[in-house]
Amino acid sequence: MLPTLERLTVAATRALSVVGLIALMGLAAMTLADGLLRWLLNRPIEGVRDLGGLAIAVAIASCLPVVLSERGNIAIRLGASVHPLLGRVLDALAALAVAAILAAVAWQIWIYAAKLGHARETTFVLQIPVAPFWYGVDVILWFAVVVQLVVAARDWANMFKR
């Protein structure tokens, strides 16, 4: 069952990373158009800066789950130089620690989004409510927690193999 779950999470995280890529490419296109219009016509596009921060938040959050599922994050493996089993135990414990820290971050982002929603915060120029974007980022982060728990389960399952 775990290999099937791993394949599903990798496929889902890759699809989600496309959302991040689209957000980033949209921001790049808006920035390019804004720069060209400033240069050619001295008429910038209003609100590009408003959307930029929101697009970056979505783009970064969308790419985090794929990095976790494909183990693309930076890792220091000290235990493997002492004993292979110790290295696998430390990897499994580290995977759980990453999941716990990521859950704490997701929880804090939820609180932040709720505060933005209660205050009815909007972007400066376009007056777009920002809370829905941060709730979206938070949902993605909670998905990343689930992905990291799958990675941790794989590490625990592989601990005594080899």
pLDDT score, position 87: 86
Dig out the tokens for 14 from the structure. Answer: 């890759």
Give me the sign of the Cα torsion angle 38, 44, 45, 49: positive
Rounded CA separation 69/56 (Å): 21
Nearest to 10 by CA among 142, 143, 134: 143
- What one-character DSSP code corresponds to residue 129? B
CA dihedral 29, 62, 121, 53 (to 10 degrees): -40
- Return the pLDDT at 162: 63
- pLDDT recorded at residue 20: 95
State pLDDT tens for residues 35-86: 999 999 999 998 899 999 999 999 999 999 999 999 888 877 777 678 888 8
pTM of the predicted model as reported, rounded to 2 decimal places:
0.90
Residue 92 or 159, more confident:
92
pLDDT of residue 158: 85
Mean of the per-residue pLDDT values for the chain?
93
Tell me the sheet residues that pair with 95.
Answer: none
